[in-house]
Each structure stands twice: as C-alpha cells, then as structure tokens.
C-alpha cells in the first residue's frame, strides 16, 4: 500500500462506519472518479481491505457474474460497465483489480467518460472533488449576470424580428 495515501472523505467515512455494503459502495464510487488513476485505486482498495474485515468475497462465476476477459482488445466502455455489474454480484478482489486495469486502459486512451486528469507529482490521493461537481467559472458573478441578460435580450430581439416578418 502507498504510505502517503489519503482516502477521499467519502471512502474514509464509509469505511470507518464499518458497514460492509457501504464500504463496498464507496469503492464503487472511487472507480467512477475520473481524477483517480490505477495507483490511486489500488491504494484505496488496499487501504479499505486493511480496515474492513471480509470486504472481498472469493472469486466466483455465475449467470450474473461471468468470467473476466483477459483479452485487452475486448476492453471497452460496455465491457467495463458489464464488469461493474458482475462486481456487484461477486465483490471479489480479483474483479476489482481487473476493473482497475480495464479502467486504466480506457483512461490512457481517453475512451468515453474515461479521461486522465493531472495530479500533483509524488502524492497518491483519494481526497478529491466529486466528479459531478460543476466547474467554477473564471468570470465574476456580475459579468455572468450581464451575459445572461444580454443573451436573453438578443433572443427576444430575434424573436420579435421573426414575428414581425
């Protein structure tokens, strides 16, 4: 495990709560965070496994959790999403680590929703902003308000022009 790993607030909260299902859900959320790379995810899973007894089940295959495919040519967004469902049915370390590898391949290729983000060198971290948080605008609020009002006025002028013809 990375010695300087700092878990995200979400992961720390749910792992510290000690509930198996919520700790697993927090790890799922880590897999969905585009800011985290493979090293971050391996550190997160190792950190969580060291604190939650029985976090992982044994690897099993069934109709609802089929085998992992080692052929990288088959690794695409659809395959990743399918394997996420299989992980929910059979939450085992082998599946989780496999998903990290698939995700990293997609991330390196900037495929679909998987895009690499720059992180400070030398620090593996899980402490991050949620992927769903909106980006902050560099424009001051007054300028944004003027742009909105100006856009509305332009739309109204266009509407009246079209209506007048």
Q: How many CB atoms lie within 10 A of CB 94?
A: 13
Output the pLDDT for position 57.
96
Give the pLDDT confidence of 31-71 residue by residue, as tens digits: 988 889 999 999 999 999 999 999 999 999 999 999 999 99
Cα 156–159–162 angle (5° rounding)? Answer: 150
Round to whole Å and give the CA distance between 92 and 96: 6
- Cβ(111)–Cβ(79) below 8 Å: no
Beta strand segments in 69-121, E: none
pTM: 0.68
Residue 121 and residue 109 in contact, taking contact as beta carbons nearer than 8 Å? no
Exposed e or buried b per residue across 39-70, where buried means at least 16 C-beta atoms within 10 angstroms of its C-beta: ebbbbbbebbbeebeebbeeeeeeeebeebee
For 153, the token pair is 């006025």
pLDDT digits (tens, 9 = 90+) for 109-157: 988 888 776 555 554 445 444 444 334 445 556 656 666 767 777 777 7
What φ, ψ does residue 132 adopt, rounded to 5°? -85, -5
């Amino acid at each position: 495990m990375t010695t300087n790993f700092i878990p995200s607030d979400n992961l720390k909260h749910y792992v510290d709560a000690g509930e198996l299902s919520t700790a697993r859900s927090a790890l799922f959320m880590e897999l969905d965070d585009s800011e985290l790379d493979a090293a971050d995810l391996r550190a997160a899973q190792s950190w969580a496994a060291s604190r939650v007894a029985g976090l992982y089940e044994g690897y099993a295959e069934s109709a609802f959790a089929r085998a992992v495919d080692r052929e990288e040519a088959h690794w695409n967004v659809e395959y990743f999403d399918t394997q996420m469902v299989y992980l929910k049915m059979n939450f085992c370390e082998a599946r989780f680590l496999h998903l990290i590898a698939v995700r990293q391949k997609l991330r390196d290729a900037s495929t679909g929703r998987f895009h690499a983000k720059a992180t400070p060198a030398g620090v593996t971290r899980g402490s991050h902003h949620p992927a769903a948080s909106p980006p902050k605008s560099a424009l001051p609020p007054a300028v944004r308000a003027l742009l909105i009002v100006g856009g509305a006025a332009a739309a109204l002028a266009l509407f009246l022009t079209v209506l007048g013809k």
